[in-house]
């Protein structure tokens, strides 16, 4: 009979392993991940209402149980072409916020893959060059099944302040206060 072998598990601080579950999804044949804690729900891509004078990366708004939720095309947000809508396209509803204020924002993805457990030990720092998106949008590179998953820094990608400035709304407010 084999003896039980006790495996030593390295001590990890609470902050290090705080968030180890990530929703993975495809966008232009690349795998991305977002921490599961900020995700509220995943819905089928449906009818959107377009809003005039918005930047290209804002697809429009949806009515989510009486609340107006802006929908961001992540591909366009990354400076690429807009995501083509297919049967597998979905909208991931994420709670985005800055300075204590939160707002639900939907992001269009090609297809949702799965929720994965990615330990901190399997997350590398973001690359300083070579990524096809802005470096500040990447929080790290997760190693999953001998492949890398681009882990998004949601606070940067869905920065409500930055999106408002880009859409011109923030610019008008800033000018009025000067």
- Is position 8 within any domain? no
**Which residue blocks in 1-131 are alpha helix, DSSP H?**
74-77
- Is position 3 within any domain? no
pLDDT value, residue 20 = 84
Q: In this structure, what CATH number is given to the domain that contains residue 100? A: 2.40.50.180
Q: Three-class SS of residue 79?
A: coil
- Is position 97 within any domain? yes
- The angle, 0 to 180 degrees and rounded to 10, between the axes of the packed helices 169-177 and 160-167 is 90
C-alpha count within 13 angstroms, C-beta hemisphere, residue 88: 10
Number of domains in the chain: 1
Rounded Cα gap, residues 27 and 123, in angstroms:
20
- Is position 122 within any domain? yes
Burial call 108-146: b when 16+ CB within 10 Å, e when fewer: bbbebbeebebeeeebeebeeeeeebeeebbbbbbebee
pLDDT value, residue 115 = 92
Rounded Cα gap, residues 164 and 166, in angstroms:
5
- Is position 148 within any domain? yes
User: Do residues 119 and 144 lie in contact, with contact meaning Cβ atoms separated by under 8 Å?
Assistant: no
- Is position 105 within any domain? yes
User: Do residues 142 and 33 lie in contact, with contact meaning Cβ atoms separated by under 8 Å?
Assistant: yes
pLDDT value, residue 26 = 92
Rounded Cα gap, residues 85 and 12, in angstroms:
42
> Residue 34 sits in which domain range?
21-172
Per-residue pLDDT of the chain in tens (178 residues, 90 and over written 9): 444 433 333 343 344 445 589 999 999 888 999 999 889 999 999 888 888 888 888 888 999 988 888 899 988 888 888 888 899 999 999 987 766 677 889 999 999 999 999 888 888 888 776 556 777 788 889 888 888 899 998 888 877 666 665 544 433 333 433 4
pTM of the model: 0.75
pLDDT value, residue 148 = 87
- Is position 5 within any domain? no
- Is position 72 within any domain? yes
Q: Which two tokens stand for residue 105?
A: 């924002």
Angle at 95 between CA 125 and CA 105, to 5 degrees: 100
């Amino acid at each position: 009979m084999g003896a039980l072998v006790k495996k030593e598990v390295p001590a990890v601080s609470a902050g290090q392993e705080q968030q180890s579950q990530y929703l993975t999804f495809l966008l232009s044949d690349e795998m991305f991940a977002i921490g599961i804690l900020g995700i509220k729900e995943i819905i089928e891509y449906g009818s959107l209402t377009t809003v005039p004078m918005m930047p290209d990366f804002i697809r429009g708004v949806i009515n989510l149980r009486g609340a107006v939720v802006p929908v961001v095309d992540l591909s366009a947000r990354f400076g690429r072409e807009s995501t083509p809508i297919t049967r597998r396209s979905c909208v991931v509803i994420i709670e985005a916020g800055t300075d204590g204020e939160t707002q639900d924002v939907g992001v269009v993805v090609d297809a949702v893959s799965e929720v994965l457990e990615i330990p901190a030990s399997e997350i590398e720092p973001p690359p300083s060059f070579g990524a096809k998106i802005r470096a500040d949008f990447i929080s790290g590179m997760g190693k999953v099944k001998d492949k890398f998953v681009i882990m998004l820094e949601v606070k940067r990608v869905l920065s409500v302040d930055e999106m408002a400035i880009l859409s011109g709304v923030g610019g008008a407010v800033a000018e009025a206060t000067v």
